[in-house]
């Protein structure tokens, strides 16, 4: 493999990569491959690695096409399963006439490190442990201030199909930080909306007969192929107009149905951090009777939120790919009890009191400083996504009070995000309340196309209602296909 120091890729912190073709024959849904039981690291093979074989052929390499990847990569994605381009309602007759590729930034973010003899040795040791095991091919290495990120292909065998995964290994001076991140990852290993912890059996980085191993902290995690929330935001920012059937145009805004689904995934992640599932049988995160953890992500921005894959067996992820949090390097448990810093009275007056948020305080539910912080952070994420403007919390509050930013935003969604952004943590929702809302028969999180066709009389006149067009299945499918699943075929600069 080429020396990554000659032309280092840009940064990298957590989870996985972006927009590469999935393994041939990849299983959909909730199945796990052998060895991915979420447990701790297995003991090394006492008999050492198997016989040395020629390097396996990369099963993922295939020519890129304008609509994604050629039929040789059998991903079978929703919306373009036959590989043909569908004509969409977007400007200039193409899928997204104004769409331009997102900037080629690494989905992990952060500055690259290109010097230091000890770091070079750590990088080479990490690469060598995989090169010396016939099961693996190191596809790419990224060097960052936090250590080494390796994108690795595991050859088929042992009852599983070929797959990609990511190994994160420490440099000596950041060993403690990587060890702490590893421990947080293991603690949350069964949370569906946190990047998934992987266990390899036998562990190629553990010392054993014929294998010196890697003597610094490391861990393995799933490879998320569909990019970060930031990359998605950059793509949709390039789509400004939507062509309507009558020849007119309207400003392009993200559909409520897409926003509800992303918001739901972020809520599930918050629940998983507050009540880490105790076993792999927990399909989706849910509150329990135990006291919630004060765990806070503490670095929850749009580069640490990534899209996974569609899950056709789950209603929540059947149309929009699952959204997961990555990078627990800054995470910690917040102090018990109330914050020692009270809410700013003037900010409460100009935001919470104007919106009467105290009227929505639930009578039940538990909160702590960790939950308070995570809810505030997902409020900022959602407000930035809706306004197409990455901003600090004060600006996000102002934007969510401005109805002109997204004039067709669902009023219920707007209110929930406004509550997450409340200055006084008492005025924020409770995770139990949000989870109960998800489970209701009339849950707003699952409103379909028909819900937004409110004015049938208006539609009968033949005049197009822009709010209805944005919520159609066609618009939603094309956004998912063009801006998430088939967004950037060229992955040469990504981990």
CATH number reported for the structural domain that contains residue 181 in this entry: 3.30.200
Is 1 part of a structural domain of the chain? no
Q: Which helix (H) or strand (E) covers residue 163, if one does?
A: strand 163-169
pLDDT at 280: 85
Q: Over the stretch 317-357, which tens digit does the pLDDT of each residue have?
A: 999 999 999 999 999 999 988 888 999 999 999 999 999 99
State which of 447, 467, 482 marks the end of a domain: 447
Nearest to 326 by CA among 36, 108, 20: 108
Whether residues 392 and 337 share a domain: the answer is: yes
pLDDT at 199: 94
Q: What is the DSSP string of 221-273?
A: EEPP-B-BHHHHHHHHHT--EEE-TTS-EEE----HHHHHHHHHHHHHHHHHH
Q: Percent helix, strand, coil in the chain (nearest 5)?
A: 30, 10, 55
How many angstroms separate the CA atoms of 374 and 268, rounded? 11
State which of 182, 198, 222 marks the end of a domain: 222
Is 32 part of a structural domain of the chain? no
Whether residues 369 and 313 share a domain: the answer is: yes
Nearest to 311 by CA among 30, 16, 34, 73: 30
Where do we find the tokens 């929930």?
416
Is 194 part of a structural domain of the chain? yes
How many angstroms separate the CA atoms of 231 and 19, rounded? 11
Q: What is the CATH number of the domain that holds 286?
A: 1.10.510.10
Whether residues 166 and 308 share a domain: the answer is: no
Whether residues 197 and 290 share a domain: the answer is: no
Find the domain containing 213 and state its range. Answer: 107-222
Is 401 part of a structural domain of the chain? yes
Whether residues 262 and 179 share a domain: the answer is: no
Whether residues 308 and 185 share a domain: the answer is: no
How many angstroms separate the CA atoms of 17 and 107, rounded? 6
pLDDT at 29: 41
Where do we find the tokens 């969604």?
413
Is 486 part of a structural domain of the chain? no
Whether residues 191 and 263 share a domain: the answer is: no
DSSP 8-state assignment for residue 424? S
Burial of 364 (0-12, 13-18, 19+ CB in 10 A): exposed
Longest dimension (CA), the chain: 78
Q: How many CB atoms lie within 10 A of CB 64?
A: 16
Give the start-end residues of each E strand in 170-224.
197-198, 218-222
How many angstroms separate the CA atoms of 384 and 417, rounded? 11
How many angstroms separate the CA atoms of 45 and 332, rounded? 34
Whether residues 305 and 356 share a domain: the answer is: yes
Q: Which residues, in sequence order, are CB contacts of 306 under 8 Å at separation 6+?
A: 15, 16, 18, 107, 195, 224, 226, 227, 228, 229, 323, 324, 325, 326
pLDDT at 239: 82
Q: Which helix (H) or strand (E) covers residue 152, if one does?
A: strand 147-154
Is 60 part of a structural domain of the chain? no
Q: Which residues, in sequence order, are CB contacts of 140 under 8 Å at separation 6+?
A: 1, 9, 150, 151, 494, 495
147 and 178 Cβ atoms separated by less than 8 Å: yes
Could you tell me the end-to-end alpha-carbon distance of the chain, in angstroms, rounded to an integer? 14
Per-residue pLDDT 10s for the chain (495 aa) are 444 333 333 333 445 444 444 444 444 444 333 334 444 333 333 333 444 444 444 444 443 333 333 333 333 333 333 433 444 454 433 333 333 333 333 333 334 444 478 888 888 999 999 988 889 999 999 887 778 999 999 987 766 788 999 999 999 889 999 999 999 999 999 999 999 999 998 899 998 777 778 999 999 999 998 999 999 999 988 888 877 666 778 778 999 999 999 999 999 999 999 999 998 877 789 999 999 999 999 999 999 999 999 988 888 999 999 999 999 999 999 998 888 899 999 999 999 999 999 999 998 999 999 999 999 999 999 999 999 988 899 999 999 999 999 999 999 999 999 999 999 999 999 999 999 999 999 999 999 998 988 655 555 555 567 778 889 998 899 899 989 998 654 443 346
Whether residues 338 and 423 share a domain: the answer is: yes
Whether residues 273 and 407 share a domain: the answer is: yes
Is 177 part of a structural domain of the chain? yes
Whether residues 265 and 388 share a domain: the answer is: yes
Is 468 part of a structural domain of the chain? no
Radius of gyration of the chain (CA): 23
Whether residues 373 and 272 share a domain: the answer is: yes
DSSP-assigned beta bridge partners for residue 380 = none
Coil vs helix vs strand at 83: coil
Phi, psi of 305 (to 5 degrees): -125, 125
Number of domains in the chain: 2
Coil vs helix vs strand at 165: strand
211 and 48 Cβ atoms separated by less than 8 Å: yes
pLDDT at 455: 59
């Amino acid at each position: 493999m080429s020396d990554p120091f000659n032309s280092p890729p840009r940064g990298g912190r957590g989870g996985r990569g972006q927009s590469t073709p999935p393994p041939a024959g990849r299983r959909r849904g909730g199945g796990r491959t052998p060895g991915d039981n979420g447990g701790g690291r297995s003991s090394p093979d006492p008999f050492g690695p198997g016989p040395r074989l020629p390097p396996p052929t990369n099963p993922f390499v295939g020519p890129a096409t304008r609509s994604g990847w050629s039929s040789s990569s059998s991903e079978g994605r929703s919306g373009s399963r036959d590989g043909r381009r569908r004509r969409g309602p977007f400007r200039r007759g193409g899928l997204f006439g104004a769409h331009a590729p997102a900037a080629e930034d690494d989905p992990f973010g952060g500055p690259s490190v290109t010097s230091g003899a000890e770091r070079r040795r750590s990088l080479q040791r990490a690469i060598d442990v995989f090169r010396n095991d016939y099961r693996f091919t190191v596809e790419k290495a990224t060097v960052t201030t936090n250590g080494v990120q390796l994108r690795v292909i595991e050859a088929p065998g042992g009852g599983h199909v070929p797959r990609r995964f990511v190994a994160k290994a420490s440099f000596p001076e950041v060993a403690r930080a990587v060890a702490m991140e590893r421990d947080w990852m293991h603690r949350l290993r069964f949370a569906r909306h946190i990047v998934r912890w992987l266990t390899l059996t036998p562990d190629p980085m553990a010392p054993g007969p014929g294998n010196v191993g890697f003597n610094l902290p490391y861990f393995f995690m799933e490879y998320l192929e569909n990019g970060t929330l930031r990359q998605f935001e950059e793509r949709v920012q390039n789509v400004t107009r939507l062509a309507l059937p009558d020849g007119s145009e309207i400003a392009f805004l993200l559909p409520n149905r897409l926003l509800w689904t992303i918001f739901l995934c972020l809520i599930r992640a918050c629940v998983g951090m507050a009540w880490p599932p105790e076993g792999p049988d927990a399909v989706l995160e849910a509150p329990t009777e135990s006291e919630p953890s004060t765990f806070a992500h503490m670095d929850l921005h749009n580069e640490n939120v990534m899209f996974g894959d569609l899950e056709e067996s789950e209603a929540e992820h059947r149309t929009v790919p699952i959204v997961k949090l990555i990078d627990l390097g800054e995470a910690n448990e917040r102090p018990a009890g109330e914050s020692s810093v009270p809410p700013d009275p003037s900010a409460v007056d100009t935001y919470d009191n104007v919106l009467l948020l105290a009227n929505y305080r639930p009578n039940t539910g538990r909160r702590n400083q960790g939950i308070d912080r995570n809810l505030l952070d997902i409020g900022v994420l959602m407000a930035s996504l809706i306004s197409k403007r990455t901003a600090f919390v004060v600006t996000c509050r102002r934007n969510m009070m401005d109805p002109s930013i997204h004039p067709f935003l669902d009023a219920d969604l707007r209110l929930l995000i406004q509550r997450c952004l409340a200055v006084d943590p008492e005025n924020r929702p409770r995770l139990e309340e949000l989870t109960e809302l998800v489970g209701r028969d009339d849950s707003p999180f699952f409103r379909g196309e028909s819900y937004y066709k409110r004015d049938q009389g208006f539609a009968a006149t033949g005049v197009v209602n822009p709010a209805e067009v944005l919520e159609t299945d066609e618009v939603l499918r094309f956004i998912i296909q063009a801006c998430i699943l088939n967004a950037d075929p060229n992955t040469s600069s990504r981990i």
